[in-house]
Amino acid sequence: MSVTAVVGAQWGDEGKGKLAHILGSSHDLILRYQGGSNAGHTVIADGTTYKFKLIPSGILHEGKLNLLCDGVVVNVLTLAEEITGLRERNQFRGELLISRHAHLVLPLHCMQDVYFEEAKGKRAIGTTRRGIGPAYADKYFRVGLRAGDMLKDNFGHRVREMARRKNVLFTGYYGQAEVDPDQVWAQVEPTVEILAPLVGDSTKVVRQALADGRKILCEGAQGTLLDIDYGTYPYVTSSHPVSGGALLGTGLSWRDLDRVVGISKAYTTRVGAGPFPTEDLGEEGERMREAGAEYGTVTGRPRRCGWLDLPLLKYASQLSGFTELALTKTDVLDDLAKIKVCVAYQSNGETITWPDLDPDVLEKCTPVYENLTGWETATTAIRQEADLPSAFKDYIRFIEDYVELPVSIISVGADATATIFR
């Protein structure tokens, strides 16, 4: 199989970083197709913990080409810092290419994100404040700056021009102080030297790689339920985490995609505001947060925790055409005697299985649970399917039957080796 996509099936944080790292070892190119430094990937390999914001973890390996493709938004300060840090630690071993079409996130976008969130008050989305929404808004308003613009002589002029335009918004709409366009440029200018040599035509590179029979891995960020169109709008991110985003964001076509691995935790988490039908606000939710270290990689915020929601998982599977599932963090449930799984909702007196993601509707849905028997056994050291407790296997089978997909990978711990391939 030449092209595989790894797609988040929930509200992000499903463990895509670990999976992409494992699958990446058998691929030549690793592509990010959407999102920006709102994503945080933690990879634990060889006893070392690596935290990535923008660069795929393939950068740790010689001979791997890592691409930030057309659909990504690149925070110039964050990326320059990430590259410099990796180089200083001798971890910048692969290659990195930034699409000339990728839009840039400047400090101005981060400020706008904060002002916007503060102005919304109680209705705030709970963004990561990394300027993602404002950068995509500028892209679609056709006033954004792209990585390719860094190669042009007038880049400094255009950054200052953008600062002047944002000032109208900052002072007039948000009642904030003006920024000094020269100061903004002074922040951005040093990044050009680091980033500009890495900018190129990523679509051409991707098409050539396909023609040469090289293997490509598309690494999603966030998850299906945060998709701008298919998620719980407006409590979503501003890009397309679904597999369609991997096509729009890279220059691949649907003909090229062979395998789509949907990634889901064995339970559910969400950061930020928005509906979450299976959220457990009691002791068990708290237990999942502590056992699963459910605190945001980017912002450190505690994640909201709850039970696996199968109608939403099936919805995600259908939207992205998952060919299989990877189930992560199953070990977090190791202690539980009973495990709840949502199989339907009660909505307006009816039992439904097709979710309506309109927040006003979804938050009024009451989950219908099946109570499954827990395995109450420590599983993190298990590496063979045959050694898994039978209640654990029943849990997997229950999910497979509902979603009508095989669970091909089970992650029983944070380390790359704590993985069972079936």
- Buried b vs exposed e over 242-267: b needs ≥16 C-beta within 10 Å? bbbbbbbbbbbeeebbebbbbbbbbb
- Which C-beta is closer to ligand IMP: that of 41 or that of 314? 41
- Which C-beta is closer to ligand IMP: that of 36 or that of 94? 36
Are the C-beta atoms of 1 and 259 separated by less than 8 Å?
yes
Q: Which of residues 165-224 bind ligand IMP (CB under 6 A)?
A: 221-222
| Interaction between residue 133 and ligand IMP (CB under 6 A) | yes
| 59, 60, 132, 344: which one binds ligand IMP (CB under 6 A) | 132
Q: Interacting stretch for ligand IMP, rule CB under 6 A, among 127-135, 248-256, 367-375, 396-404?
A: 127-135
- Which C-beta is closer to ligand IMP: that of 215 or that of 265? 265
| Interaction between residue 237 and ligand IMP (CB under 6 A) | yes
Q: Interacting stretch for ligand IMP, rule CB under 6 A, among 9-17, 103-111, 316-324, 397-405?
A: 9-17
**Shortest spacing between CB 54 and ligand IMP, in angstroms:** 12
| Interaction between residue 126 and ligand IMP (CB under 6 A) | yes
| Interaction between residue 306 and ligand IMP (CB under 6 A) | no
| 3, 5, 9, 13: which one binds ligand IMP (CB under 6 A) | 13
| 21, 53, 103, 130: which one binds ligand IMP (CB under 6 A) | 130
| Interaction between residue 56 and ligand IMP (CB under 6 A) | no
The DSSP bridge partners found for residue 68 are 32, 98
Catalytic residue among 13, 70, 113, 227: 13
Q: Site for ligand IMP (CB under 6 A): how many residues?
A: 21
Catalytic residue among 21, 27, 41, 240: 41
The CA-based dihedral angle spanning residues 163, 168, 172, 175, taken in that order and rounded to the nearest 10 degrees? 10
The DSSP bridge partners found for residue 29 are 65, 216
3-state secondary structure 221-289: CCCHHHCCCCCCCCCCCCCCCCHHHHHHCCCCCHHHCCEEEEEEECCEEECCCCCCCCECCCHHHHHHH
**Shortest spacing between CB 389 and ligand IMP, in angstroms:** 30
Question: Which two tokens mark 214?
Answer: 């090289």
| Interaction between residue 54 and ligand IMP (CB under 6 A) | no
| 5, 68, 261, 271: which one binds ligand IMP (CB under 6 A) | 271
CA 261/CA 42 separation, integer angstroms: 19
First to last CA, the chain: 17
| Interaction between residue 227 and ligand IMP (CB under 6 A) | no
3-state secondary structure 309-328: EHHHHHHHHHHHCCCEEEEE
> Has 21 been annotated as catalytic?
no
Are the C-beta atoms of 356 and 362 separated by less than 8 Å?
yes
Q: E strand or H helix at 177, and its extent?
A: none
> Has 27 been annotated as catalytic?
no
Q: What is the DSSP letter of 146?
A: B
Q: Interacting stretch for ligand IMP, rule CB under 6 A, among 51-59, 144-152, 230-238, 359-367?
A: 230-238
CA 125/CA 238 separation, integer angstroms: 12
Strand 48-52 relative to strand 73-75, pairing? unpaired
Q: Cite the active site residues.
A: 13, 41
Binding site for ligand IMP (CB under 6 A): 11-13, 38-40, 125-128, 130, 132-133, 221-222, 226, 235, 237-238, 271-272
